[in-house]
Structure 1
Amino acid sequence: MSKQKHNPMIAVTISIVPGLGQLYNRQFIKGTTFLLLTIAFVVSFYQFLNIGYWGLLTLGEIPGLDDSRVLLAQGIISLIITGFAITFYVLNLINAYKEAVKIKHGRKNDDLRKSFKDGWDKSFPYVLVGPGLFLLIFVVVFPLLYMILLAFTDYNLYNSPPKNLLNWVGFENFISLVTVPIWRSTFFSVFSWTVIWTLVATTLQIALALILAIFVNDPRIKFKKFIRTVLILPWAVPAFVTILIFAALFNNDFGAINNDILGPLFNQAIPWMTDPFWSKVALIGIQVWVGFPFVFAIFTGILQSISKDWYEAADMDGASSWQKFKSITFPQVMFATAPILIMQYAGNFNNFNIIYLFNQGGPAVRGQNAGGTDILISWVYNLTFETQNYNMAAAISIVIGLIIAGFAFYQFRRTRSFKEEGEM
């Protein structure tokens, strides 16, 4: 066969069976290896994939014998394995085509040693990231896919495997969130409080951190190091310890805030734990205390990096303190920290620890299956581990994920640091 008649399309066509294209290109070792890997894959995974896809489609047929949860997991693993197989298959086609083009243009195949060396050089980065990618798929992607698929089933306390079989219900769970009265009222109540909690608590902690950072950075302030150390101390204490201490301080019966401050001074006792409004006020205050030191430390570093020449030029132009803050300080701080601040909002949107540790999302609210201070993530926790409404918990988790991803993507796109990334 002449090199000019070597047809790349033939190499691609016969590569429908991996390895044959490489054999056609006279890459006998590579072709044999690909062919053996294909045979080994089919022999090893045919039965597993067959059961996996059957289970994914049916979720079982015999109650008590077929466990829909296991079949769902096996189906997801089958999808992941199939993804790897398709990737290998596509790479096999691309390799067969490229090598056939080289032969057609008169280039000789490299010898085995050079082929191995070139292959190792090209694949070395993938070898390094391979273990991490493998763990990522089975530690992050697999649970995520499992949760997404559960949202389209009827898995709850009254329909639990292996006694019962799960069924695919489509978008019924999502529709229930906005049509069934108890789910609708609870969802919109919890969602609105989650948004308020995120905006108010995060904005206050950022504002407090910025104000304190500007004051401490003022040249007239003495003992700067000591003051900064004191202001960062709340960050040094583990957050869960701080939250538990505040939970004790705000306790209605023995808390120091009622017994030692409000009682003696104002003859008042506020129901911090039993009234939803005051519980929310307390939670926002605690979050501001816990969250501001981290932002303060970032703002302090940014303020110290702003050139003093800008302020001197502003003084020469007769700018006021507010004008210098509005035109120099604030834009520079926001430009440098916008992505981090966006993540502060996203983090507080899912800030489970403070809600649960303070009063487990309580107090109870009539006509709802969530507590008065539950945010979406703590509501999902209660649905999962207390009432075992796994399907609704999964559906709400998808809603949370879409909200967070959409918000973060939109805000990152609008930040100057994102827009000017290629210009710096």
Structure 2
Amino acid sequence: MKRGKKKAWFYSMPFLIIVGLMIVVPLLYTVEISFTNMSIYHWKDYHCVGLDNYKKALLAFDSGFLPAFLRTLLWTVSSMALQLIFGFFVAVGLNAKGLKLRRVYKTLLIVPWAMPAYVSILLWRMGIFNTEFGLFNQILKQIGGKTVNFLSTSGMAFISCLVVNLWLGVPYMFTMMDGAMQSIDRNIYESAELDGAGFWKKHFYVTIPQILPILMPVIIMATFTAFKQFDIVYLMTMQTGSKTGADINTVITYVYEKAFITSNYGYSSAVAFIVFVIILVLYKTMNRREFSISEQ
């Protein structure tokens, strides 16, 4: 038995070393400099400042972290709600009886997921939301309306980014839901229909309970993806040389801004570690919820 354990450790050692070098060491270094005033001005002569960086992030509202955190929560909840609702109804539609060209529809609907995110985001920014020649403003001009600068105000920019995130996220969500729905025994639906269940009751009492245990890992993954979303917010409103003026910083773009624009490495490391702890707690909570649903 002991010999087998030694052999297992021997074979696992290269992987553990790689994990240590790529994850554990950078994490420990981040924690170390989070207690310092390291910045571009104190690159070599930095010193320990204790918990000042953490106090600034968590207790000073004008530091920008707390508004960014609250906005991230709103972003995550809104993104997940929209993706679940749209993904569910698209999957229900694709599983409707008598639907022809089902595979064609699935192929077309999965195109946004297949496209590189960078390309999709810039297409939305320049081709759809652009003030001068974007599709939405061209339609408004044709019907006599005024042009709208979708990305200049925080509210409109936030909604516009949600639309882009919905476009990118729904294909994955409906694909997972479609697979889960196809695993449901059709006899259950027939029994529900015989009992007088209509469209809403049938899906609320049959479909959702049946697919929820299968979807929980998908929901957890999509939640973390939304929480740490960077490219949509950055490319739509914050890209260097083409900032729109909207302030919709999330915690991830906030960390990026403090680390690579203002070069305040000590403070940005403290914020990054706070975000790491938040994600860890969120993961533990959702994982426990997934386990309880699976047990039921």
TM over 0.5: yes
Stretches of structure 2 lacking an aligned partner (at least 5 in a row)? none
1:194·1:376 contact (CA, 8 Å) conserved in 2? Answer: yes
- Residue matched to 1:281: 159
For the pair 1:175 / 2:45, whether they are aligned, the reply is: no
In the superposition, the TM-score normalised over structure 2's length comes to 0.92
Partner of 2:286: 411
Q: Deviations over 1:72-117 (max 9, x none)?
A: xxxxxxxxxxxxxxxxxxxxxxxxxxxxxxxxxxxxxxxxxxxxxx
Residues 20-419 of structure 1: matches in 2 within 5 Å?
121-161=4-44, 165-180=45-60, 182-183=62-63, 186-249=64-127, 250-258=129-137, 260-360=138-238, 363-364=244-245, 372-415=247-290, 418-419=291-292
Which has the bigger relative contact order, CA under 8 A and spacing at least 6?
2
Give a deviation string over 1:112-150, Cα, whole Å, max 9, x none: xxxxxx765332222221111100000111111111111
| Identical counterparts, % of pairs | 28
CA RMSD of aligned residues (A): 1.9
Superposition pairs of residues 8-27 of structure 1, within 5 angstroms: none
CA distance in structure 2 between the aligned counterparts of 1:395 and 1:217, rounded to whole angstroms: 48
Whether the 8 Å contact between 2:34 and 2:269 is mirrored in structure 1 is yes
> For residues 410 and 179 of structure 1, what CA distance do their matches in structure 2 show?
25
Report the residue type matching 1:303 in the other structure: M
Q: 1:322 to 1:131 in 2, by over 3 A?
A: same
CA deviations over 1:17-61 (Å, ceiling 9, x no partner): xxxxxxxxxxxxxxxxxxxxxxxxxxxxxxxxxxxxxxxxxxxxx
**How big is the shift at 1:255?**
2.4
What one-letter code is carried by the residue in structure 1 that aligns with 2:185? Answer: S
Distance 1:240 1:127, change over 3 A: same
Q: Structure 2 counterpart of 1:169, which letter?
A: V
1:220: Cα distance to partner? 2.8
Runs of 5+ in structure 1 lacking a partner?
A: 1-117, 365-370
SS at match of 1:330: helix
- Alignment-mate amino acid for residue 77 of structure 2: L
Q: How many angstroms does 1:158 deviate by? A: 2.9
In structure 2, distance between residues paired with 1:357 and 1:242: 11
Question: Are the aligned partners of 2:176 and 2:218 in contact in 1 as well (CA < 8 Å)?
Answer: no
**CA distance in structure 1 between the aligned counterparts of 2:4 and 2:122, rounded to whole angstroms:** 54
For residues 207 and 355 of structure 1, the distance between their equivalents in structure 2, rounded to whole angstroms, comes to 22
- Write the deviation string for residues 268-314 of structure 1: whole angstroms up to 9, x where unpaired: 21112211111111100000001100111111111111001111111
* Greater gyration radius: 1
Quote the offset at 1:180 in angstroms.
4.2
Question: Is residue 276–residue 363 contact of structure 1 (8 Å, CA) maintained in 2?
Answer: no
- CA–CA separation in structure 2 for the residues paired with 1:322 and 1:256: 35
CA contact (8 A) 1:270 1:278 kept: no
Shift of 1:223: 1.5
Q: Secondary structure at the match of 1:345?
A: helix
**CA positional deviation for 1:178:** 4.0
| Aligned equivalents of 2:125, 2:42: Cα separation in 1 | 37
